[in-house]
Amino acid sequence: MARIIGGLTSSHIPAVGAAYAKKQFEDPYWKPFFEGYPPVHKWLAEQKPDVAVVFYNDHGLNFFLDKMPTFAIGAAFEYENQDEGWGIPALGKFRGYPELSWRIIDGVVADGFDVCSCQEMAVDHGFSVPVQLFWGDQTKNPIKTIPICVNTVQHPVPTPMRCYRFGQAIGRAIASFPGAEKVVILGTGGMSHQLDGKRAGFINKKFDLMCMEKIVDDPEELAKISTADLIHEAGAQGLEFILWLAMRGCLNGKVKRLHQNYHIPISNTAAGTLLLENAA
């Protein structure tokens, strides 16, 4: 059966896509951010996962306010990356794995999550920036990906606990897939940030570090936070942390933190990177 070997987190700040294209890895502004990734690269090179399931949020590229699914799962052979307006280079096509996508869709629907299945899906910086940060150029030997899009944009958004439970259902579905695939789960976006309104520029380091602690050993307790409290503590876009909770739900139980990096700010955002190994 397919096996979930670990979970990764990464912010998806679009400016990272531009810095990556310009190879600004050693630039003083970018270095403390990019330094968070080589330990994960080393682990990925050792573990060689076959598939990345990526919880992300669409920012108006594939879904707009006229049609906004709460949970949408990609079931395509490939996913085209486009820039929805940040001026970052489009990265071309990401490889899909529809067989596992359909197992996940079947599994979660049987478990009470009625999702939108997408046999065509364009992916924006919410997906492409983290995949590029972990796996680099996707035109050669691309990792198989399954994009899972959660609404963090238009209220009502799913509650943190609902996202955690959604992750648990996906974890069960993956474990029922007949294959020898090693799967990693990505929780993307976050951490605290707010891009507009009176609290534009808001960052909450204390809250972020608490989340990075609790998500390891006490995710069930962390997921009890209300949507309003999460927005109050993390900012309107810091709500993207629900994607991390969905990732953590997939890991079902005990995990070991192998690596962590936290850096503020990058653009308007607190950037958090985690590598969690799933218990066998």
Helices 242-250 and 205-217, packing angle to 10 deg = 10
Q: Which stretch binds ligand DHB (CB under 6 A): 10-18, 64-72, 138-146, 217-225?
A: 10-18
Query: Is residue 204 involved in binding ligand DHB (CB under 6 A)?
Result: no
Q: Give Cα separations from 26 to 16, 19, 23, 38 (angstroms).
A: 13, 10, 8, 13
Long-range contacts of the stretch 118-121 (C-beta < 8 A, 24+): 118/62, 118/72, 118/73, 118/74, 118/75, 118/76, 118/149, 119/75, 119/76, 120/76, 121/62, 121/72, 121/74, 121/76, 121/79, 121/147, 121/149
Please count the other Cβ atoms lying within 10 Å of the Cβ belonging to residue 144: 19
Assess 270 for contact with ligand DHB (CB under 6 A).
Answer: no
Q: Which stretch binds ligand DHB (CB under 6 A): 6-14, 20-28, 102-110, 155-163?
A: 6-14
Give 158's DSSP letter. P
The binder of ligand DHB chosen from 13, 100, 133, 215 (CB under 6 A): 13
Give yes or no for residue 193 binding ligand DHB (CB under 6 A): yes
152 binds ligand DHB (CB under 6 A): no
Residue span 234-253 as binding mask against ligand DHB, x where in contact by CB under 6 A, dash where not: ---x----------------
| Tokens of residue 209, six digits | 């570090």
Smaller CB separation from ligand DHB, 212 or 271: 271
Please pick, from the candidates 62, 138, 269, 278, the single residue that binds ligand DHB as defined by CB under 6 A: 269
Question: Annotated catalytic sites, by residue?
Answer: 125, 193
Please give the helix or strand (H or E) that residue 258 lies within, else none: strand 255-266
CB 71, min distance to ligand DHB, A:
19
**If DSSP codes are grouped into helix, strand and coil, which group holds residue 266?**
strand
Q: Which of 15, 40, 76, 234 binds ligand DHB (CB under 6 A)?
A: 15
- The reply on whether position 263 binds ligand DHB by CB under 6 A is no
Contact 269, 195 (CB under 8 A): no
> Which one, 171 or 189, has the nearer CB to ligand DHB?
189
Q: Does 132 bind ligand DHB (CB under 6 A)?
A: no
Residue in the block written with tokens 């993207």: 240
With binding defined as CB under 6 A, does residue 272 bind ligand DHB?
no
Q: Choose between 138 and 269: whose C-beta lies nearer to ligand DHB.
A: 269
**Are the CB atoms for 89 and 20 separated by under 8 Å?**
no
Q: Which residue is nearest to ligand DHB, using beta carbons?
A: 267
Instruction: Please give the residue ranges that form the binding site for ligand DHB (CB under 6 A).
Output: 12-15, 59, 189, 193, 195, 237, 267-269
